[in-house]
Structure 1
């Protein structure tokens, strides 16, 4: 859940972290002054006393309305000077003597307007003013315990006021950092979602090309074969049609399997069995020979599927482009890696002429942490070597 934010000044200082402090002190001074006036304690002048407190409250309200995100330094300094004058008016009219606590608001407010150094300076100014006031009123004040205690308590109040302001500022800065971190996390989550969607689209594209594309290529080749042998050898043509029908069924099964994968966890994948089935589906054009060995257990499903797609792409290329008569598929699964070699005796191709199929195969292997090497030359056949690491490796 996002934390509620408060208005903030451009320089990062909070606007009013503890807005109840000023009204609380105004109320305490008003109650003490009224009590002193009613009881005849000291010389309380009601009109300037009440007017000064009302002016202070109105000043606070107007400042918050005018600068809800925090008072800028220049008008803030002017308002501090106005408050100091009003504090002097209220203190002069207060017979209880409690109104000196209002001066604590000067360093407290200065912290938010001008920073810690100005706050300490304002506190020192207030303390010096209190001492001077005592000295002017009674040069022997330092010999009276009550007067010394008042000065000490005021000094402690100044320390607490500056400390409270410092804590409030730090709390607001921490809150701002948390809010910023939450915003960055939300942005990162959106990026991860976008990348995940892109990765899933890429995976589906590879599956369509490597799976459905393979079967459609086989169907096309088999139907061409059936058409070519229709008049010369009906049995060969019928067998080609049957093989094409079988490839169409396999294509439909793979489409359904892809849909199931999107809806639920993938089923266990057996690489060796899939390679044997690939060889059987290929028939004798070209003849596909599979040699597989090793334990599939240490390998992830993605790694095994990547090796199978490499074999599938190699067989498809040998049938469609290379005119190969024989394709050898050799699989060796070791403790740290799996190695698949697909070699055909076709026409080969010149370096730098890899198509989209090989590029997609290489991308799939890289996503599984593996590599692809292609060796070919015109008239020398093609040899694909795919390597993936095991989960333990």
Structure 2
């Protein structure tokens, strides 16, 4: 287990080194013993600063042996605090249970050492105090390790959650762009194809009608370019580069889709409170399906506004879905309307199709 708080060991090494050198300077003096004490602490610090490829148990045992060696060369006795690191390091190396067991073992070993080398220590306040302080230090070290591990785990979970959020956001944006391409470019490319087919068919029979079809195809191409630019500028779900009037925009759309073989009526009632791009996309989807796939000759588009919601209805007298399932366009439309808090209802038979969409203000 990686150690989230490596600075604790370094801090203790520094405190022990400063205390030992100060004690030697004011007491017995700096000599070979102090030099060995300093070198051993530097080795301990170097162990913490590297990633070893040997087993964690071997590194742990080496640290414990160095703690004992430092304590043997430390005349001040301050280095005993390093043994608090044994359960602390064991917690990260072997887990919480091993850390607690090592902590209890260190306290027991200290009490055993007092028993062997300090007769009557159990009635001497300074040794009782040392044992209690050491036990408290072990407990604080274990608590610190547990808190550090939980914090690291929480940070890892947070990073994982953020990564999932980023992935979902990217997926949602890709889906939005796919729906936007289908609803906008797909519709206009379909309209261009229909008008160009008409222009080719009537090129010699009806030059005026053919020229009008080419003009409508050109309008659809320009409109597609405008919508692509608007989508690139906004890059937001259901965002609009500027306000538009739904009734006017639908009238323009119907005008450029209507031809001699197909009559499209538009009826708008009520007062429009704000622009509703979702209804415009729904109308595009309904008109595209009716013009391209159903063979309808009569198509009706109605829009009604009231105080609570806006309603769109696209009906045709075509052949319906003819047993085919809903395609990408209708699936995307349902998702778009759902995000806007509205509903979609589709009824289809061999006598025609009705698409109803309601969106609250």
Q: TM-score with structure 1 length normalisation? A: 0.72
On the 8 A contact 2:303/2:312 being kept in 1, the answer is yes
What CA RMSD, in Å, does the superposition of the two structures yield over aligned residues? 3.6
**Alignment-derived partner of residue 363 in structure 1:** 332
CA distance in 2, matches of 1:55, 1:123: 27
Q: Does residue 73 of the first structure (1) align with residue 73 of the second (2)?
A: no
**Alignment-derived partner of residue 333 in structure 1:** 305
The offset of 1:303, in angstroms, is 1.9
Residue by residue over 1:138-178, the C-alpha shift from the partner in whole angstroms, topping out at 9 and shown as x without a partner, is x4894xxxx52464155325413541453255235414532
CA distance in 2, matches of 1:375, 1:178: 53
**Alignment-derived partner of residue 353 in structure 1:** 324
2:129 to 127, 134, 152: 152
- Structure 1 residue runs of 4+, over 6 Å off? none
Match of 1:112, SS state, is helix
Give the greater-gyration-radius structure (CA): 1
On the 8 A contact 2:179/2:332 being kept in 1, the answer is no
On the 8 A contact 1:327/1:342 being kept in 2, the answer is yes
**Alignment-derived partner of residue 285 in structure 1:** 261
Q: TM-score with structure 2 length normalisation? A: 0.78
**Alignment-derived partner of residue 288 in structure 2:** 313
Q: Equivalences for 1:101-120 in 2 at 5 Å?
A: 101-113=78-90, 114-120=98-104
On the 8 A contact 1:303/1:388 being kept in 2, the answer is no
CA distance in 2, matches of 1:174, 1:70: 27
Match of 1:269, SS state, is coil
On the 8 A contact 2:107/2:134 being kept in 1, the answer is no
CA distance in 2, matches of 1:297, 1:252: 29
**Alignment-derived partner of residue 304 in structure 1:** 279
Q: Does residue 216 of the first structure (1) align with residue 224 of the second (2)?
A: no
Gaps of 5+ in 1: 1-7, 39-44, 231-236
2:348 to 375, 382, 391: 375
Match of 1:170, SS state, is helix
**Alignment-derived partner of residue 83 in structure 1:** 67
2:224 to 238, 255, 275: 255
The change in CA–CA distance for 1:244 and 1:280 in structure 2 (over 3 A counts) is: same
Match of 2:202, SS state, is helix
